[in-house]
Amino acid sequence: MHFPVSGVDVLPFIPPLVAFLVSTLTASAGVSGAFLLLPFQMSVLNYTSPSVSPTNMIYNIVAIPGGLYRYIKEGRMAWPLAWAVVIGTLPGVFVGAWVRILYLPDPKVFKLFVGVVLLYLGYRLLSEVMGWNKKVKEQSKAMQNKFAGQVAKMKAENSGRMAAGLPAEAVVKTKSISWKKIEYEFWGETYSFSGLTILSLSLIVGLIGGIYGIGGGAIISPFCVAVLGLPIYTVAGAALAGTFITSIAGVTFYHILAASNIAGGAVVAPDWMLGILFGIGGLLGTYVGARTQKFLPDRIIKIILTCLILFLSISYIGQYFF
């Protein structure tokens, strides 16, 4: 099948299949999978024009509602965190789209940028997995012990069958919201972070996400887990919500740039058909990933993501120099 906007030739079942596999893995960590799909489009499909970024955002728009539905239904949506991410990210997305078109149209340079971003993500996740941050290590250990205890209890009650590590009462309950401090409770533990800190970070994340075409959740999620010490079970839904809303804004802005003279003749309008095909697979995958999250220890999720991210980052940085 030929896609005239992107110039891609691929069998129509490949995009949704790849998106399903990627998003099933990543949605449990609060990541839509767009950060992995962009390298696939660039390296496998040879889609390297600036329009690949908004096409990636279309995938987010179609795919994310599946995961959001599960997180909201099961009470694992930290709404104060989600809205803080959205408010901080939106301005950065607009600037990022402008930077992508004017300063990073060269595929080789853009791959280097992608590699550096992925390297940062990999380092953050690796630091959390290895326990380099003592405070985060202690919090993670406590959560892992509770998770393991719940699994053992449920297996004993259900004759050893596969059981979820999160009980039905493990839901997010907002305690206080202010510019200085946002606080919520989850599974008997209280977590807090600075509202100004997350807003400032989100602005930077929006800039990178607008350039990359990922909406920003792939950067916010590891930061919240590895630096702020928030449990991944509460971060995932908020990160996906922020990515969803900022992706809508990003696609809109890319269309505006395509209709203006700023693009300078470059192809910046998204390939809707290709993006929707990716999104269909992603919609099913994010639902499955969010549904199965409560069965998976957070350490397993982080290890898999860390390995994928570091492999891709080294590959892209290497392609720039060799």
**CB burial of residue 157 (10 Å; 0-12, 13-18, 19+):** exposed
Which comes out higher in pLDDT, residue 277 or 96? Answer: 277
Q: Which residues pair with 184 in a beta bridge?
A: 174, 191
Torsion sign across C-alpha atoms 172, 125, 68, 176? positive
Region of poorest pLDDT, from 95-99, 105-109, 173-177, 306-310: 105-109
Residue that the structure tokens 């999620």 belong to: 221
Statement: residue 104 has pLDDT above 80: no
Contact 195, 179 (CB under 8 A): yes
The count of C-alpha atoms lying within 13 angstroms of the C-alpha of 54, restricted to the half-sphere facing its C-beta, is 28
Instruction: Look at residue 223 in the predicted model and tell me its pLDDT.
Output: 75
Which comes out higher in pLDDT, residue 158 or 271? Answer: 271
Number of neighbours of residue 48 by Cβ within 10 angstroms: 18
Residue-averaged pLDDT of the chain: 80
Which residues lie below 8 Å from residue 166, measured CB to CB, with a gap of 6+?
76, 147, 150, 187, 233, 293, 294
Which pLDDT band, with edges at 50, 70 and 90, does 277 fall under?
Answer: very high
**CB burial of residue 102 (10 Å; 0-12, 13-18, 19+):** middle
Torsion sign across C-alpha atoms 293, 298, 304, 307? positive
Which pLDDT band, with edges at 50, 70 and 90, does 61 fall under?
Answer: very high
Statement: residue 275 has pLDDT above 60: yes
* pTM across the whole model: 0.77
Which pLDDT band, with edges at 50, 70 and 90, does 272 fall under?
Answer: very high
Statement: residue 138 has pLDDT above 70: no
**Which tokens is 177 given?**
């919201």
One-letter amino acid for residue 97 of the chain: A
Statement: residue 142 has pLDDT above 70: no
Instruction: Look at residue 137 in the predicted model and tell me its pLDDT.
Output: 62
Alpha helix positions (H), 44-78: 52-73
One-letter amino acid for residue 240 of the chain: L
